[in-house]
Chain A
Amino acid sequence: MLNETFFNEFTIRLNRPASQVIDDLADKGVLGGIPVSRLYDDPDELQNLALVAATECTTEDDMDALVAGLREVL
């Protein structure tokens, strides 16, 4: 995790490109966050970063599914 303090979202560093990880999660029915490379023009150094948010609509089941999904695909 890159930022120790946050409001509604935080950034994590993965061991491979975030877009691949998030696509793999999507195949499992989990929308697991946003590859930071989609937000910036110079994506290379940011390619392993993912931005993850929770809202008041996110349930505990959703969070458990994300954690379980990440364990599987990483």
Chain B
Amino acid sequence: MTEDIKTISGNRGLQLDEPLIFEQGRAGRCGVDLAEITGTKNRLGGTDRTAPIGLPDLSEPQTVRHYTRISQKNYGIDAGFYPLGSCTMKHNPRVNEKLARLPGFAALHPLQPLSTVQGALELIDTCATWLKTISGMPAIAMSPAAGAQGELCGMMAIRAALTDRGDARKRVLVPESAHGTNPATAVACGYAVDSIPANERGRVDFDAFMEKLDGDVAAIMLTNPNTCGLFENDIIRIADAIHDAGAFFYCDGANLNAIMGNVRPGDLGVDCMHINLHKTFSTPHGGGGPGAGPVVLSEPLAAYAPLPFVVHGENGFDLVEHQQGAGAKSFGRLKGFHGQMGMFIRALAFMMSHGSDGLAQASADAVLNANYLLAELKDTLSPSFEGPCMHECLFDDSFLKDTGVSTLDFAKAMIDEGFHPMTMYFPLVVHGALLMEPTESESKETLDQYIATLKGLTAMARAGNTEHFQQAPRLTPWRRLDETTAARHPVLRWQPAKKEAKAAE
């Protein structure tokens, strides 16, 4: 077996063992030689550096190799299948990248005179128009930086609207299967969270919802399709009941890729919804950002949207950066500047290159791909709910019962097979969840290889080859990391060996 081969160097073929950059530094080694500066006055006001700050000294070729080698250890959507459920890891079309790099966009400063950035403001406005049209909503806040900040934006708008009408309320209803950011957002906005159970079909239990709904409920936060990959059939009844109770309907738009171009959330009675441009509209993510989370708003919430925003002025596009006086209802600023401009360019490129028919087709293909996985795997793995799914399919771990293999072990074995694992242990409503979202990007050949791999691994687990799973991954630069120690005693920055020994005592 490959894993038993030990090399002298620590390298594994062309997979090179790479130490931290700090461990490679040697004092006095130099990449760039700059001339001494003369003839200027020191204006640092006594804040000059007084001692070395401990950056490693490396030559240019060492530095280039270091970053090339660590970049080769990345696994991303450009390298292979990435079925991470609830994350919509779709292909990032290269035309988006080309347009985002146009110097007229890439070299802008967000605070340039407005006369010099009319094209950029028009792009934000056009992107906003497409998003409002797709969602069937009258207003939008473009500035939120990502989905969770979009949730915060939406809930702050709801709170501002309720406060404005002198009707401060105390509770927010959140289904059990929700993304963890939903209850976190409600609490951050000062609300108590009241959890709604799911029914046996994986949807919101409508009767339980009605029992919890009263005049003290500010909003419901609902994802549709939900995190089980299922369309909430009662969504219009839920929206009507919420509005009858004087509350608002927040929709988590994380799963918009399932319905884009086919269903408009505005027609379902939604009051606000964030749109993850980095999911549905193909802007790159998975490396910590940047995301972009514009929030579409209904008429009753539109006035409370955050600053700044683009408007049509007398001499072209204008930017409202301040609001004062009696009519000023905006809840203020969420973020520096106008939003994630680079993501607006990419998202608009995605929308315009697909057209409205192409967006509907992309969404339909995403649903088709997920249902293909579900149909091919339903007799091998254990689907959590009966019937077809939307853009992602959910399984629980009952197919691994009595094998000694856990969902985690199974996922680690998938890494040795060259696949990024699906989402594990989420949503929490099923035991040992495995949530798969193939998106529209994947070919049938890729899906078939993935299906064959999962079937093969399941057969190995059932045949009692437990060791194979518990030892996985074997073929990665690092094996299983000590996640418990990492959580309890996180080491967040490198320090020279001597100090490290001291800290360990």
Contact = CB atoms under 8 A, between A and B. Distances in A.
Interface of A: 4-7, 19, 22-23, 26, 31, 34, 38-39, 41, 43
B113 A23 contact: yes
A34 B336 CA distance: 14
A22 B47 CA distance: 31
Interface residues on B, range: 10 to 19
Contacts, number: 29
B111 interface: yes
B322 interface: yes
Contacts of A4: 43, 45
Contact of B45 (A5, A26, A34, A39): A5
Interface in B115-161: 115-116
B40 to A, nearest CB: 12
A31 B115 contact: no
Given A38-B321, A41-B324, A43-B322, A26 B115 contact: yes
Q: Is the interface of A mostly helix, strand, loop or mixed?
A: loop
Contacts of B111: 34, 38-39
A26 B44 contact: no
Interface in B44-76: 44-47
Given A5-B45, A5-B46, A26-B112, 10 more contacts: A4-B45, A19-B113, A23-B115, A26-B113, A26-B116, A31-B112, A31-B116, A38-B111, A38-B321, A41-B324
Contacts of A31: 109, 112-113, 116
B113 A22 contact: yes
Contacts of B112: 26, 31
Interface in B313-348: 321-322, 324
A31 to B, nearest CB: 6
Nearest to A25: B113
A34 B322 CA distance: 16
Contacts of A38: 111, 321
Nearest to B307: A41
12 contacts: A4-B43, A4-B45, A5-B43, A19-B113, A22-B113, A23-B115, A26-B113, A31-B109, A34-B111, A38-B321, A39-B111, A41-B322
Nearest to B111: A34
Nearest to A7: B44
Nearest to B45: A5
A5 B44 contact: yes
Given A26-B116, A31-B112, A31-B116, A6 B322 contact: no
Contacts of A6: 43, 45
Contacts of B47: 5
A39 B336 CA distance: 10
A6 B67 CA distance: 33
A22 to B, nearest CB: 6
Nearest to B321: A38
A4 B115 CA distance: 32
Best-surrounded residue of A4, A19, A22, A41 (most CB of chain B within 10 A): A41
A43 B113 CA distance: 16
B46 to A, nearest CB: 8
Nearest to A19: B113
